[in-house]
Chains A and B, each alone.
Chain A
Amino acid sequence: MILRLILHPSLFKVTARHIFGIPLKIAGNKDHLESAMEWLSLSQEITGTGGSAASFGFESGWALPYPETSGYIISTFLRYSSFVNDPGYLERAIRMGDWEIEIQLPSGAVRGGSGINDYPIVFNTGMVILGWADLYKTTNDKRYLDAAVKASDWLCSISDNDGKWARYTYNGIPHAYHSRVAWALFVMADLTSSDLYRETALRNIRWILSLASDNGWIDLMGFSQDELPLTHTIAYTLRGLLESSHYLEGDLKQQVRGLVISNSERIFLKYEKRKRHPNASPEYLAGRFNAKWQSAASFSCLTGNAQIAIIWLKVYRINSDARLLNAALKILDQLKEVQDISSSNRGIRGGIPGSFPIWGDYMPWSYPNWATKFFADALILQEELMKPLEQR
C-alpha cells in the first residue's frame, strides 16, 4: 500500500487530506451531483457488462460488477435522468436493468456478492426488485415487471412464518434491514395487486417491530451479531421501515412512522451535539452506534451519513421539522468536503469514500458505488425540498 501511495500522487493526496482532516472546497450542488453521476457512469462503463463496479479500491482498482447495488443504482439513474432531463441516464438504467435480467437466477433470486456467483441472497433480490419496478414504471416494458414478479415470488416462497428471512441471507442470519426487502414487496403488491406480496411484507414489518426496544433500538440491524451496526445498516433499516409505512394504515402506520421519526431524531441530536465549539460545524457522525444509541466508533461511515441525510430529509417532508433539513444540509456539506471533483484519478473523481478517515473500518481504502449512489440521491432530494423554500 505504501508503495502505491508513493507511486500514485492522487491516492497520496487523499490519504494526506484524511490524515490532517483537511476539507476540500465545497462547490455548487450541481457540480457535486454531476461529478457523482459521472463517477457512477464510469463504474458502469468500466465493467463492460451493464452492471456497476462494486467499488474503486486503492489497491485493487475497479471491482467486479455488483448485482445488488446495481439494482438500486437503476433508480438513481432514472431519478437523475428526469431531474436534469437527460435521456442518456435512462439508457444507462435500461442497460443496467437488462443486465440484471440476464444474470437473474432461474429461481428468480438475485445473486449474492460481486461478480457472477451462484448463490442467491434475499437482500440483493429486494434491491434489484426496486430497480426493476422503477424501470417498469418509467418504460412500461413488461420484461422488468416479469423479472420483478419472479424475484418477488421467490422471496415469498422462502419467508419464515414469523415474517423474517432466515435463509439465503448475508452471514446466514436474519436482519432488521430486510425492511428494505419488505418495501420492495409493498411496491410490487401495489403494481400487481398481489395479496401474497403484501402479506409477506406486512409479516416482515411486524417481525422487525418485535425487535424494537423501548429506547427505539432495533436488534439485528447489523451485518453480524458479533459487531455493532454501522450507520449504513441502521439507515437501511429505518429507510425500509419509512418507505414501507407509505403502504400501511392505521395504528401500524403510526407505530412504524413513530419509530423511524424518534430514531432519526436521536441520531440528529447525536450529530448536532458532537462539536468542539457552540458555533462550530458538527464533527463527523460516528460510524457505529450501540444499543444505548451511544457513538461507538472513531471513524465515520460516509455511505451511512448520506443515507441518514435522506432519512432526515424524508422525515422533514412528513413533519416539517426543519432542524432535520438543517442537519441534512450540514452532513451533506461534510460529504462534499471529501468528494474530490477535480482529482486526476477517475476512480476518485466524484466518488465518495467508504469511511472517514479513508482507512476507517467500513470499506477501507475504497470508494463503494453505493456511497456515491446515496450521496447523489440525497443531493437530488435536497434540491427538491429546498426549491419551495427558496422560491417563497
Chain B
Amino acid sequence: MKYGIITADQELYTKRLIYFLKFNFHKPDCVIQVTNSFFHRIKRNLNLRAVVSILKAQTSERVSSSAKPSTDHLARYLESLGITIPDISLVQACKNEGIPLFTTNDLHSGKTCELLRRSELDLLINAGGGIFKSCIIDTVRIGILNAHMGLLPDMRGMNVLEWSIFYERKLGVTVHIIDRGIDTGDILSFKPISIEKGDSISDLRDKTGIANFELFSEVLIDFKTDSLTRRKQSPEMGLQYFVMHPRLRSCVERKLRDMSADKSSIPIN
C-alpha cells in the first residue's frame, strides 16, 4: 500500500506526524506541501472586500493561535514514546528520511492533480491541506483520510471541539474518508479525549493531535490488514457547525474552566 501526507501551513505538525508514523513502521511514500501563502490568497481574490475579509480571517487565526496551551501535550507524548523531532525544516526532514517532497502553490491546479495521479497513491493523510475538490479526491485510490475534531456524524463543520463543550457532548477525534461534502465521508474510527484539571480550549485542541496520530496509525494498520470497517453517513445525520463567535467562545472557555476546576478528569457524553 502506498500512502502520502498532504499539508499546507502545518509544518511542525506534519514533521511530528512523519516521525510518529515512521516510529510505528508506516513511513509515508511522499509528502505534498501546499504553499498556500497569504499573497497567493490575495492574488486569487483580487477585490477589496475579499482582501478585507482575508485580512480579518488572518487576524482571527493569529488571535486564536496566540492562545497557546499550557503544555505542548503532543511534544510530551512523543517524548514519552522516545521519538525525537529534530529542529530542522520539513524539507530537510523529508530529505533526511528519503521521502519525496512535492510543493505546489495551488492545491487545485492541474499540476497538483497530475502530480497526485502520477504518484498512484492508495491513501492520502490530510495534515491541514485545505478543502479538497473532487479533482483531487478522485486521484487517490482508496481516499483521503481526515481527522475531525469531534464526534461524527453528530458534529460536522468548524469549531466542533468548542461546540461539543457548549452542548456537553462527547469530545474526541473521528477519522473519516473525505468526500465531496463537509465531513460527510465514511467514518473509520473515533477516539475520545477527556478533560483534565486546568484544561483550556487550546489544551484540548493540542490533545486532539495525540488522538489524530494514534488514529492514523491504527487506521493504516487496519488498511494493511484489510480489517477496516467503513461506516456510511447520510446527509440527514448530524448538523453542520460554523466558526464560533468570540462571545460564545468566551462562554465555552468559562464553562470549561468551571468543569475542570474541581475534578481531575471529566468524561462528557
Which chain A residues have a beta carbon within 8 Å of chain B's beta carbons? 20-23, 269, 272, 275-281, 283, 321-323, 325-327, 329-330, 333, 386, 389-390, 392
Residues of A within 8 A of B41 (CB): 277
Do A281 and B53 form a contact, CB below 8 Å, given A276-B45, A322-B248?
yes
Binary A-proximity of B156-167 (CB < 8 A = 1, otherwise 0): 001000010011
Q: Are B57 and A279 closer than 8 Å at their CB atoms?
A: yes
CA–CA, A159 and B203, complex, Å: 62
Cβ of B87 under 8 Å from chain A: no
Closest Cβ–Cβ distance, residue A315 to chain B (whole Å): 14
B77 proximal to A (CB < 8 A): no
The answer to whether the Cβ of B48 comes within 8 Å of any Cβ in the partner chain is: yes
Structural contact, B49 and A329, CB atoms closer than 8 A: no
List of B residues within 8 angstroms of A21 by Cβ: 48-49, 52
In the complex formed, the residue of B with least CB distance to A330 is B245
Say yes or no: A276 contacts B251, CB within 8 Å: no
Contact B247 A279 (CB under 8 A): no
* A-side contacts of B167, CB under 8 Å: 322
Docked-complex contact B241 and A323, CB < 8 angstroms: yes
Some 15 contacts from A to B, beta carbons below 8 A apart, are: A269-B240, A275-B53, A277-B57, A278-B243, A279-B61, A279-B158, A280-B53, A280-B54, A281-B53, A322-B163, A322-B166, A323-B239, A327-B242, A329-B247, A390-B251
Given A326-B242, A327-B242, answer yes or no on A281-B248 (Cβ-Cβ < 8 Å): no
**B56 and A281 within 8 A (CB):** yes
Query: Shortest beta-carbon distance, B33 to chain A, in Å?
Result: 19
Q: Does B50 contact A (CB under 8 A)?
A: yes
CA–CA, A150 and B240, complex, Å: 49
Q: Which residue of A22, A278, A283, A327 has the most chain B CB atoms within 10 A of its CB atom?
A: A278
Q: Is B254 an interface residue (CB 8 A)?
A: yes
A21 to chain B, nearest CB (A): 4
B15 at the interface (CB under 8 A from A): no
Q: Tell me whether A276 and B53 are in contact (CB under 8 A).
A: yes
CB distance from B241 to the nearest CB of A (A): 6
Docked Cα-Cα span, A215 to B48, in Å, equals: 35
- On whether the beta carbons of A326 and B248 are closer than 8 Å, the reply is yes
Instruction: Assess whether B88 is interfacial by the CB under 8 Å rule.
Output: no
Q: Which B47-94 residues have a C-beta within 8 angstroms of A?
A: 48-50, 52-54, 56-57, 60-61
Residues of B within 8 Å of A327, CB to CB, are 242
- In the complex, A269→B235 CA distance in Å? 14
Query: Whole-angstrom distance between the alpha carbons of A333 and B239 in the complex?
Result: 24
Report the minimal beta-carbon distance from A262 to chain B, rounded to whole angstroms: 13
Specify which of B45, B60, B251 is in contact with A392 (CB 8 Å cutoff). Answer: B251
Quick one: which of B115-149 are within 8 Å of A by CB? Answer: 131
Which B243-264 residues have a C-beta within 8 angstroms of A?
Answer: 243-245, 247-248, 250-251, 254-255, 258
Nearest 9 A-B pairs (CB), nearest first? Answer: A21-B49, A280-B57, A329-B245, A272-B242, A277-B57, A279-B57, A389-B251, A280-B53, A20-B48
Query: Interface centre among B49, B239, B242, by most A CB within 10 Å?
Result: B242
Q: List chain B residues, Cβ under 8 A from A20.
A: 48-49, 52
Known: A272-B242, A281-B53, A392-B258. 18 other contacts (CB 8 A): A20-B48, A20-B49, A20-B52, A21-B48, A22-B52, A275-B53, A279-B57, A279-B60, A279-B243, A280-B54, A280-B57, A281-B243, A283-B49, A322-B163, A322-B248, A323-B239, A392-B254, A392-B255
**CB closest residue in chain A, given B166:** A322
* Docked CA distance A272–B158 (Å): 11
Given contacts A322-B166, A326-B242, A390-B251, contact A278 B131 (CB under 8 A): yes
Q: What is the distance, in angstroms, from B128's C-beta to the closest C-beta of chain A?
A: 11
- Closest chain-A Cβ to B217's Cβ sits at a distance in Å of 27
User: Do A277 and B248 touch across chains, with their CB atoms under 8 A apart?
Assistant: no
Distance between Cα atoms of A280 and B64 in the complex (Å) = 13
Chain B residues whose CB sits within 8 angstroms of the CB of A283 once the complex forms? 49, 53
Q: Are A323 and B242 in contact (CB under 8 A)?
A: yes
Is B50 a contact of A276 with CB atoms below 8 Å? Answer: yes
Who on chain B is nearest to A382 by CB? B247
- Give Cα A22 to B53, complex, Å: 10
Which B residues from 21 to 59 make CB contacts under 8 A with A? 41, 45, 48-50, 52-54, 56-57
Query: Of the candidates B45, B49, B239, B248, which one forms a contact with A325 in the assembled complex, judged by CB atoms under 8 Å apart?
Result: B248
The answer to whether B56 and A278 touch across the interface, beta carbons within 8 angstroms, is no
| A23 near B52: Cβ-Cβ < 8 Å | yes
Contact of B247 among A23, A321, A386 (CB under 8 A): A386
| B54→A276 contact, CB < 8 A | yes
Which B-chain residue is minimally distant from A326 (CB atoms)? Answer: B245
Instruction: Report the minimum CB–CB distance from B65 to chain A (whole Å).
Output: 11
Hey, which chain B residues are within 8 Å of A390, CB to CB?
250-251, 254
Complex formed: what's the CA distance from A323 to B52 in Å?
Answer: 25
Residue of A at shortest CB range from B254?
A: A392
User: Least Cβ distance of B123 to chain A in Å?
Assistant: 23
Report the bound CA distance from A2 to B163 in whole Å: 49
Taking a contact as CB atoms closer than 8 A, the residue among A269, A276, A280, A329 that contacts B248 in the complex is A329
Q: Which residues of A contact B241 (CB under 8 A)?
A: 323
- State whether B53 touches A277 (Cβ < 8 A): yes
Contact with A along B161-179 (1 / 0, CB 8 A): 0010011000000000000
Q: B130: nearest residue on chain A (CB-CB)?
A: A278
Which residue of chain B is the closest to A357 with respect to CB atoms? B49
